[in-house]
Structure 1
């Protein structure tokens, strides 16, 4: 009990102390939380805090965020995004994976390991990008909608990527053992709850589809009566409990059938977008989302292995910038191809250039399935974390350099 109280005090106190300064300096709350985590890292290690488990717990903030975004998107609006969701999102995954695979092979990796690395770094950070776009009021613009479409496609693609990684095992690694990875076990997506992984493929597909249908039907027809029943008690805390129960329940159901909880929460949010209780749900969930996301960003900052990074500083920086530049160039090209123009295209490319939080999960899974060695995975974990830490600086570059330049050239352009 004392340990949890001390940890809560440290995490909340650091955020309260540092985030206002970061916001005042124009860096944004995300970078403030990341800096707080980086400063706290050594202290958390000294206190024997399991940062990996803390981050897995804090990932629930991403689930809540996607649920709230779903509430803002009625099914018709989501259907209008289908071209960017499938076309832009799908092409981004393929092009980025192949480009980074080529870079990895040029650096001496076998094709299986190179493809594994390419798939992992094809994903971006849903938490950082959407939270930053929301704070800046840019989520509903052309660049924000393109970013959202790609991020949603990436969340959908996580499960096929996991299945593919299990087929990319390197015999030499399987013979020598996976080794030990220093970040996040593969259980952060709830594999212990995955009850369908032993089923035949056709039956697994039916169960997964049935679960999605269950969420849609229950959300459409049962939410109203349940909320009216809860409201009859005239206790505001019960409404909060009901809202959390919906999000947690859908997340657990999605893990049971092998999908990502974030995807399930988004589906539930879309289903409830036309509900009369939409605004009540949004009001009750929003404070929890902010707290969990703050904790998630702190844990990402604390997860940076400074000793390993300093020992290989040149390589780590070169890999991080190389990955981010490759992704930004691909995104800039694809954005223009799909009609994202001007400063919106730069917002899309710069904001999505980092690796994502699912990279930690996929790297751990890759070691467990002998697709990557533990030493290589530990190095790549630093690249993932560092790219996330640098992302707010990319947004700052957009705010201070790109947006003013386009505003001066096209003062009437929206």
Structure 2
């Protein structure tokens, strides 16, 4: 008993410490459980040693997961998604499995092992992918629905793939025995369907009348484990029995209650299953075969991403949705662990190869969030570039209004917008230009007429009214462009007063050298305002605080002016002024 309690405490402590840390870093709960198992397993700290027994018990988590998947698969839902599920999903599993199996053959595996490896790696992580999309709020998006359809078919494909492993393992048995086993299997499937249809639902009605939640939960677990045990007795997968039980109850009035009662057990046992898989991961094996493993991870993710992208495009999805679908499902899945462990038990896969394949799947899971972020960044830049190009082409054909602005604002970011609000409040006519289409779109949504224009083109400035404006305000964020524009404006439009925004003291010095009418540091006055409030909060009288701030401002600006004059009288400054 003490040993059992200590093992339980170790499992819980590892999960509580490591899983939240993994989720916080965007790696997901599955990888957290794998890491926790790796840490406490015999290949690391060695706190837990009975891996095989724990793995066998924790397989109930996979059984319960298949039951819950069956509960979700109502016939009507499958019919609505039939094209995506049975078209895109089927194509993905078959093509990915065939291509990955072919690669496995090139690595020297036997055809049976390569077949299992190919189709095992073709499956993606349902829990991992759905969590990624849920965290990003994209489950209901176009690509989210397509990815879910593929995952749905992959979940369905687990059952025949497990049957395939059993068939490959029994291939040497006499044909009559094979036919007998097949008949037993079909007979048990029919029996489970009949019992579930005519006995299970009435039984749940009787249990519900007892108004005991504990009894209802016990009945639900009895149905799941009972059907799983029956399937195991005829050589079929326990998961198949659980899946059939869920399907039979998917349209019953007890479905939601069953989900609520089973979910906690499923979560704990599945987490335990992943930890058991993590305990089987061999760091020595990783270091020994690190080149092959990393190469396999890259090949796996490239093949799945490319195939899913191509198939999604073929099914009518756009470029961005297809790429997102591909990278989101590029990893190996948790059911690959089940498939590989079953193959190892059936002597179809060596222990070393099972360990390598487990490492490949686990590392592909770890890489997925990074690949998804990279794809998002690429698609974001591509979309912005395309949108900006389209906007720029449209904006370049616009003409400036025929009025004489008193003020020309160049640059309509946060500072240009604030200046425009003040001028508009006093009915002072102004024209604003900006070279960023995003700024223009935002300004126009706020009701301001801002036009596209390059601050370095004199013909654009003249068309915008620089020749007649009394004041030109350079509110550009880029210091280099601001300085070049100030120099040109001073030369070609000397009539107007010129104000310019400075990003920092160095930028301010450069602008002051151009003899502008006013240079303002973008955060300077705000900082002085906060300082004034701070002094008053500390008990300094308001008049005295304002006097201190004014004295500081005058001293500071005088020092800045002194630096400008000192720089202006240096040989480098004289040479610069001569050249310009």
5+ residue gaps, structure 2: 388-580
Aligned to 1:318: 295
| In structure 1, C-alpha distance between the alignment counterparts of 2:35 and 2:200, rounded to whole Å | 40
Q: Whose helix fraction is larger, Structure 1's or Structure 2's?
A: 1
| In structure 1, C-alpha distance between the alignment counterparts of 2:57 and 2:131, rounded to whole Å | 18
Give yes or no for contact 1:301–1:389 (8 Å, CA) kept in 2: no
Structure 1 residue 288, shift from structure 2 partner? 1.2
Q: Which moved more, 1:2-11 or 1:82-91?
A: 82-91
Give yes or no for contact 1:328–1:353 (8 Å, CA) kept in 2: yes
Give yes or no for contact 1:309–1:316 (8 Å, CA) kept in 2: yes
Deviation track 1:260-301 (CA, whole Å, cap 9, x = no partner) reads: 333332332222122111121111111111212222222233
Structure 1 residue 5, shift from structure 2 partner? 1.2
Give yes or no for contact 2:40–2:47 (8 Å, CA) kept in 1: no
Question: Any residues of structure 2 matched to 1:26-175 within 5 Å, and which?
Answer: 26-41=26-41, 46-109=46-109, 114-129=114-129, 141-163=144-166, 165-166=168-169
Say yes or no: does 1:293 pair with 2:270: yes
Say yes or no: does 1:249 pair with 2:226: yes
Distance 1:372 1:216, change over 3 A: closer
Aligned to 2:499: none
Which structure has the larger Rg?
2
Q: Which residue of 187, 196, 208 corresponds with 1:210?
A: 187
Structure 1 residue 371, shift from structure 2 partner? 5.0
Give yes or no for contact 2:40–2:46 (8 Å, CA) kept in 1: no
Distance 1:68 1:163, change over 3 A: closer
Aligned to 1:219: 196
Deviation track 1:163-184 (CA, whole Å, cap 9, x = no partner) reads: 5644899xxxxxxxxxxxxxxx
| In structure 2, C-alpha distance between the alignment counterparts of 1:260 and 1:137, rounded to whole Å | 35
5+ residue gaps, structure 1: 170-195
| In structure 2, C-alpha distance between the alignment counterparts of 1:63 and 1:138, rounded to whole Å | 28
Q: Which moved more, 1:369-378 or 1:240-249?
A: 369-378
| In structure 1, C-alpha distance between the alignment counterparts of 2:371 and 2:214, rounded to whole Å | 40
| In structure 2, C-alpha distance between the alignment counterparts of 1:366 and 1:234, rounded to whole Å | 44
Aligned to 1:383: 360
Structure 1 residue 309, shift from structure 2 partner? 0.6
TM, length-normalised to structure 2: 0.57
Distance 1:272 1:48, change over 3 A: closer
Give yes or no for contact 2:89–2:153 (8 Å, CA) kept in 1: yes
Give yes or no for contact 1:116–1:168 (8 Å, CA) kept in 2: no
| In structure 2, C-alpha distance between the alignment counterparts of 1:43 and 1:5, rounded to whole Å | 22
Say yes or no: does 1:262 pair with 2:256: no
Q: Which residue of 253, 256, 260 corresponds with 1:276?
A: 253
Instruction: Considering Cα pairs closer than 8 Å and 6+ residues apart, tell me whether 1 or 2 has the greater RCO.
Output: 1
Q: Whose strand fraction is larger, Structure 1's or Structure 2's?
A: 2
TM, length-normalised to structure 1: 0.77
| In structure 1, C-alpha distance between the alignment counterparts of 2:59 and 2:277, rounded to whole Å | 10
Structure 1 residue 360, shift from structure 2 partner? 4.1
| In structure 2, C-alpha distance between the alignment counterparts of 1:57 and 1:134, rounded to whole Å | 30
1:275 is paired with a residue of what secondary structure?
coil
Give yes or no for contact 1:84–1:146 (8 Å, CA) kept in 2: yes
Give yes or no for contact 1:67–1:265 (8 Å, CA) kept in 2: yes
Aligned to 2:314: 337
1:222 is paired with a residue of what secondary structure?
helix
| In structure 2, C-alpha distance between the alignment counterparts of 1:133 and 1:17, rounded to whole Å | 24
| In structure 1, C-alpha distance between the alignment counterparts of 2:240 and 2:344, rounded to whole Å | 25
Give yes or no for contact 1:51–1:302 (8 Å, CA) kept in 2: yes
Deviation track 1:31-75 (CA, whole Å, cap 9, x = no partner) reads: 332332333335876235222432332232222223223323321
Give yes or no for contact 2:27–2:366 (8 Å, CA) kept in 1: no
Alpha-carbon RMSD across the aligned residues, in angstroms, is 3.6
Distance 1:69 1:139, change over 3 A: farther
